[in-house]
Chains A and B, each alone.
Chain A
Amino acid sequence: DTEVTQTPKHLVMGMTNKKSLKCEQHMGHRAMYWYKQKAKKPPELMFVYSYEKLSINESVPSRFSPECPNSSLLNLHLHALQPEDSALYLCASSQDRTGVRQPQHFGDGTRLSIL
């Protein structure tokens, strides 16, 4: 069992739909991440939140909108996605201590299919 929980596990949506992905952790981590992973490829970083504030946006299209309502929860709001956005979306979390790199812990992901 992973300590980072992602829901839903699978999502199929049309290009005009609005949906959200949810990620939750209760390890007291203050850094949370969204990654996109295409088949047979490594994860690609999308966003980083540190202490509930967006610290990194890797030039992600605006049809992806992240939100961090509190220190345990991370959402990814989806709107008007394209077929090429179909992928596994992974959430991760880590401790965030200045000067000490902590490993990231990953959830099992949401497999997203865009029709």
Chain B
Amino acid sequence: AQSVTQLGSHVSVSEGALVLLRCNYSSSVPPYLFWYVQYPNQGLQLLLKYTSAATLVKGINGFEAEFKKSETSFHLTKPSAHMSDAAEYFCAVTPITGGGNKLTFGTGTQLKVEL
């Protein structure tokens, strides 16, 4: 079964600092990978997706992620944090074929941005 591990349930950065949220996947075949963000009292919003095209994926709000097969990683980064980035971030995986497009989520990382 496929899974993702998000290292660090809470990450705190200063405004203007680099954001790095870690995600490692477990799969014998590289899957499709997604990052979602959830603001308080809202649903999940898709930030970006990896679907086996370019390994460096650019998303919304200045976020990007790089797929590294050798490290089984798909870490999310943003060069300069903004207060509005404070939210819960979920990494998710789905198999390329089969499985009915089931998303398996990581446990989430709460990002705090401080002045």
Contact = CB atoms under 8 A, between A and B. Distances in A.
Interface residues of A, number: 28
B42 A108 contact: yes
Interface in A84-115: 90, 92, 94, 96, 99, 101-109, 111
A101 B43 contact: no
B43 A103 contact: no
Q: Which of B44, B96, B106 has the most CB of A within 10 A?
A: B44
Interface in B66-87: none
A103 B106 CA distance: 16
B107 A48 contact: no
Interface in B38-55: 41-46, 49, 51
Interface in A2-48: 2, 4, 6, 31, 40-43, 45, 48
Contacts of A43: 44, 90, 103, 105
Interface residues of B, number: 24
B101 A101 contact: yes
20 contacts: A6-B43, A42-B90, A42-B106, A43-B90, A43-B103, A48-B102, A50-B100, A90-B44, A92-B44, A99-B97, A101-B94, A101-B95, A101-B96, A103-B49, A105-B46, A106-B36, A107-B43, A108-B42, A108-B43, A109-B43
